[in-house]
Chains A and B, each alone.
Chain A
């Protein structure tokens, strides 16, 4: 049975709905005091969400990833962005090699066209553009005067 809405246990799920007061405080601290955050590649990463008439745009700061180590999925109106982190390097054989993933999820509105999602990775920022469905765009309604 799959009646419960997917809700990851992360402390904050950016959403079009307002989060709890505690979440908002977390966000305020993260934005105001970036040094409180975990290092960029180990832990979480900052995400921005915008919308305009035609689309919803999600930007995520994920510096230094290779294309094949980044992934984005949409399921049940939740966009999940994940990055595969490898530490250790080829030059230093003794450096510990670990592999882990960092992940964020963004709750999306329901009016998006998932067939036309575009993603681009530039300067360490992943930008995902999710177009709104045609019928969801604002349309002027012609009024007939009788």
Chain B
């Protein structure tokens, strides 16, 4: 089955969304797998501690905002920089296939795992023949 949880356009109107911080945000690398019970979203958000991840479901959207809280001490002089200094923001569209009440998030060493259980009515079932 082709998963159609498409990434929706996020920052079309940044002022209307009024994010709590004005820090730039980038989309993390992520992938989606599914089994018979749930979809699993795996997103790489290195540099983020569990307390700094905010996952919200807003109507048809699942929004993950992961805040990078680390800043170099002032006495440190950067010699070479590659690590982005942006927060992570991932917006996924949800449809009726996902049971919103059972969404779980887990963060281990910079890997965020979101478990989106499938809605009960979508799971395979046996239909008994009446009478």
Which of A2-10, A26-34, A110-118, A132-140 lies at the binding interface? A26-34
> B70, B83, B108: which contacts A64 (Cβ < 8 A)?
B108
Tell me the residues in window 75-109 of chain B with beta carbons closer than 8 Å to chain A beta carbons. Answer: 75-84, 108-109
B82 touches A41 (CB 8 A): no
Q: How far is the CB of B49 from chain A (nearest CB, A)?
A: 5
Q: Which residue of A lies closest to B27 (CB)?
A: A35
A63 near B: Cβ within 8 Å?
yes
**Chain B count of residues within 8 A CB distance of the other chain:** 27
Q: B46 and A63: CB pair below 8 A?
A: yes
Q: Which of A53, A65, A125 has the most CB of B within 10 A?
A: A125
- Whether, in the assembled complex, B39 has its beta carbon less than 8 Å from a beta carbon of chain A, the answer is no
Q: Specify the chain A residue showing the minimal Cβ separation from B81.
A: A48
Q: Known contacts A50-B76, A50-B77, A63-B110; is A125 also within 8 Å of B82 by CB?
A: no
Q: Classify the interface of chain B: helix, strand, loop or mixed.
A: loop
Interfacial residues of chain A within 1-40, with CB under 8 A of chain B in the complex = 14-16, 27, 30-31, 34-35, 39-40
Question: Is B48 part of the contact surface with A, judged by Cβ < 8 Å?
Answer: yes
CB neighbours (8 Å) of A106 from chain B are 80
Please name all residues of chain B whose beta carbon is closer than 8 Å to the beta carbon of A52 when the two chains form the complex: 73, 75-77
Q: Which of B47, B77, B82, B84 contacts A47 (CB 8 A)?
A: B82
Q: Which residues of A contact B84 (CB under 8 A)?
A: 31, 34, 46
CB distance from B126 to the nearest CB of A (A): 24
**Complex: A12 Cα to B94 Cα, angstroms:** 41
Q: Is A51 an interface residue (CB 8 A)?
A: yes
Binding site for B on A (CB under 8 A): 14-16, 27, 30-31, 34-35, 39-41, 46-53, 56-57, 59, 61-65, 91, 106, 121-125
- Given A16-B79, A49-B78: 12 more A-B contacts, CB < 8 Å: A30-B82, A34-B26, A34-B84, A46-B82, A50-B72, A51-B79, A53-B75, A56-B79, A64-B108, A124-B45, A124-B46, A125-B70
